[in-house]
Structure 1
Amino acid sequence: MMTVYGTANGCLTEFPADPPDLPPDAVWIDLVEPTANEESKVEGVLGIDIPTREELAEIEASSRLYQEDGAVFMTANLIRRGENDEPESSPVTFIVKDNTLITVRYHHPQAFPAYVKRAMKSQSASMSGWGILISLLEAVVDRAADHLERAGQIVDETSKKTFGAKRTLAGTHKQNPRKGVNLQELIENIGEEGDFVSKMRESLVSIGRAVAFMQAIADQQSDKKQAKENVGRIKILQRDIVSLTDHATFLSGKISFLLDAVLGLISIEQNGIIKIFSVAAVVFLPPTLVASIYGMNFAFMPELQWQLGYPLAIGLMVMSAVLPYYYFKGKGWL
């Protein structure tokens, strides 16, 4: 699908769908899963070679930023929340030729429609190809900030479920903070957010490389006033990207700690269960020994003739069970 945009009165305007010829005043051509015919049309008018989906997948990270045929090519990985809230990452190519921006993408990052909706209103920023590209990347970075904020909230909620405890007013008694909490589900949630934050960090790094390349190109623009404005916006964008990258790194460390903590809690709970079985085995071992002794079929066992033999055997079994229990309790093992 090809969507063509122009500008009017400082606003972004959309041309009719599937125009037979590209309008000469088009400033942004958005190619979403383009057909071969759409690619050929844009390539013929602008005189550039648009990379295909297969070529985008094969492009190495070190070869995603280049100039060719008077155009600037930049490819960055953009991430979105797909179906079932699963993170989806896919390369998006930004091409600037003269005063026209071309975007080639094969998924639907939420930042694109959000920017279009906002740009339909009057804008103070430049609506040239470079200006739209910078504004679009600003929308992408803003969306990344929202994603990281949400991931941080999920991590905080998981941390509260893992370590939170309720105390009485006296502050001396703790209730079980994990009562009713499924630790396996917590691990799955932590793993999902860890995967998302990792992909988001990779996306921010690729965007940062593209923005640094943009800054070098922007300095070479003939319109010095426009170049100065673009460089100023790019520097702000770079600072935002660095800040979000640092925040993503912090979240990754917090997620790793939380994952280790949950695994440790699972190990503690499993050890507690094993301890219960071990103590039960030790507690019932002496009574079993007493019962085994008096269950032997020997002809001469004096206790069998005693009138109090049976109560004595029962008392020995109870006492042999109670003594280990209080011994373990006194040691703090229970």
Structure 2
Amino acid sequence: MEQNGAKGSRKQKITLVDYDESNFQEKEITNVEECFPFKDKPTITWINVDGLHPPEIPEKIGNYFGLHPLILEDILNTDQRPKIEDFDEHLFVVLKMLYFDKEKDEVFSEQFSEQISFILSSNFVISFQEKGSKVFENIRDRIKNSKGKIRKKGPDYLIYALIDAIVDSYFKILEKFGEKIEFLEEELVEDPNPETLQTIHELKRELISLRKTIWPLREIIGGLSRGETPLIKESTEIYFKDIYDHTIQIIDTIETYREMVSSMLDVYLSSVSNKMNEVMKVLTIIATIFIPLTFIAGLYGMNFAFMPELEWTMGYPIVLLIMVTVAGLMVIYFRRKEWL
């Protein structure tokens, strides 16, 4: 079994939250066997595992809670594409959590993304986080303080809240993309350079990767909102439809950003071309001004014996005056034509 989740993972941490409308308990598990009595309790149990290495703990949880071997394999293999699989008694969902790398000023780096897997059953939810982000802290606070409907609903509402937290985090990523695009637009107008072109290509690559990550959400959330599994109650389907609307909005925004970045590439090429045209125009004007001056200098540089101007006392200053006059008249003409 390939275990990519073992790479770079920190020490595992298991958190257990058990609740119903009137009772609540939360504790950090030191021995995985402490989770086992909660399998058949009538209350709602949420087991969250931070870190996938060593794999023995996810495997023990999976074996005791009756998870299919393919589920365990997909949990430990963190190269999974976002997906949903129905195993009758369990619903398996894989999503990707993304972070913005402030040092590299990018989104998609191995250090700032993680796979999060969910198992939904009739009375419990198990989540496996590759690196243990704090994206679910608000959910824990809502359960603890009985905020909203979460304590009155079942495990299907809990997994809705967890998925919704991940989807909402994508809006923060899109906000960062928007800021980068706005900065690039200003740079394109003021001073486009080769580094700008490289940044555009990197941004385009990141948007393609973001699209590949988020596009499967459309199918996942769509299936949950249509009630294709009995583990999702009809009363909860409407909440997944709300996530579905957010997903469509995110995808539309990504497509808009991709079009903007593609147009920025055209703008860059046009700006560079215009800049080159301005340089060529100036050089052409300078060369044009010097053509008659070169002709005059060349004419009197022949030094033929019977050239009467060679004997003039004022010949040199007169020729210089003629050359300055010709150059001045040409500059005035170019300005009137708005070529300068």
Give the alignment's TM-score, normalised by structure 1.
Answer: 0.78
Paired residues of 1:78 and 1:91 also in contact (CA < 8 A): yes
Aligned to 1:76: 95
2:72 corresponds to 1:44 = no
Answer yes or no: is the 8 Å Cα contact 2:227–2:233 preserved in 1.
no
- The residue that corresponds to 2:124 in the other structure is 100
Equivalent-residue separation in structure 2 for 1:184 and 1:33 (angstroms) = 42
SS of residue matched to 1:5: strand
In structure 1, what is the Cα distance between the partners aligned to 2:312 and 2:192?
A: 56
* Residue identity (%): 21
Shift of 1:119: 4.4
1:324 matched to 2:330: yes
Change (3 A) 1:32 1:123: farther
- Residues 221-262 of structure 1: CA distance to partner in whole angstroms, max 9, x if unpaired? 4xxxx7122212111111121122222222322332233223
1:277 CA displacement: 1.7
**Residue 51 of structure 2 corresponds to residue 32 of structure 1:** yes
1:90-133 CA deviation, whole Å, 9 max, x = no partner? 54332224433233343455634454455443233335432221
**Which residue is equivalent to 1:19?**
31
CA change 1:283–1:105 in 2 (3 A) is: farther
What is residue 174 of structure 1 aligned with on the other side? none
The separation in 2 between residues aligned to 1:116 and 1:192, in whole angstroms, is: 37
User: 1:66·1:73 contact (CA, 8 Å) conserved in 2?
Assistant: yes
CA–CA distance in structure 2, aligned partners of residues 119 and 293 of structure 1: 96
CA contact (8 A) 2:94 2:115 kept: yes
Match of 2:251 in 1: 245
Distance 1:117 1:217, change over 3 A: same
List aligned pairs for 1:1-334, cutoff 5 A: 1-8=12-19, 14-23=26-35, 24-25=37-38, 26-48=45-67, 49=69, 50-52=72-74, 55-57=77-79, 59=80, 64-68=83-87, 70-84=89-103, 85-88=105-108, 89-107=113-131, 111-126=135-150, 128-159=154-185, 162=188, 178=190, 181=191, 183-184=193-194, 186-187=196-197, 190-216=200-226, 219-221=229-231, 227-334=233-340
SS of the aligned residue for 1:307 comes to: coil
Provide the rounded CA distance (Å) in 2 between the counterparts of 1:143 and 1:209: 19
Code of the aligned partner of 1:272: E
**Mean CA deviation greater in 105-114 or 29-38:** 105-114
Q: Take 1:241 and 1:54, find their aligned partners in 2: how far apart are those partners?
A: 26
- The amino acid of 2:293's aligned partner reads P
Task: Give a deviation string over 1:123-163, Cα, whole Å, max 9, x none.
Answer: 33335432221101111122212322343344345445656
> For structure 2, which runs of at least 5 residues remain unmatched after alignment?
1-11, 39-44
Asked if the contact 1:66/1:72 (under 8 Å) is kept, the reply is yes
Contact 1:3–1:14 (Cα < 8 Å) also in 2: no
8 Å contact 1:290–1:317 — kept in the other structure?
A: yes
Tell me the distance in 2 between the aligned counterparts of 1:27 and 1:284: 84
- Specify the SS of the correspondent of 1:6: strand
Question: RMSD of aligned C-alpha atoms?
Answer: 3.2
CA distance in structure 2 between the aligned counterparts of 1:257 and 1:12, rounded to whole angstroms: 54
d(CA) in 1 for partners of 2:300 and 2:269? 47
Counterpart contact for 1:79–1:203, Cα < 8 Å? no
Secondary structure in 2 aligned to 1:111? Answer: coil
> CA separation of 1:121/1:160 partners in 2, compared to 1, >3 Å: closer, same or farther?
farther
Whether the 8 Å contact between 1:6 and 1:27 is mirrored in structure 2 is yes
Letter in 1 for 2:150: S
Q: Report the more deviating stretch, 270-279 or 7-16.
A: 7-16
Separation of aligned partners in 2, 1:105 and 1:210: 19
Q: Aligned-pair distance for 1:52?
A: 5.0
Please give the alpha-carbon distance, in whole angstroms, between the structure 1 residues aligned to 2:131 and 2:206. 17
Q: 1:42 & 1:83 partners in 2: Cα distance?
A: 36
The aligned amino acid for 2:107 is: P
Q: Report deviation, 1:305.
A: 0.8
Structure 1 pair 256–41 and aligned structure 2 pair: CA distance change class (3 A):
same
> Gaps (5+ residues) in structure 1?
164-177
Distance 1:314 1:125 in 2: 93
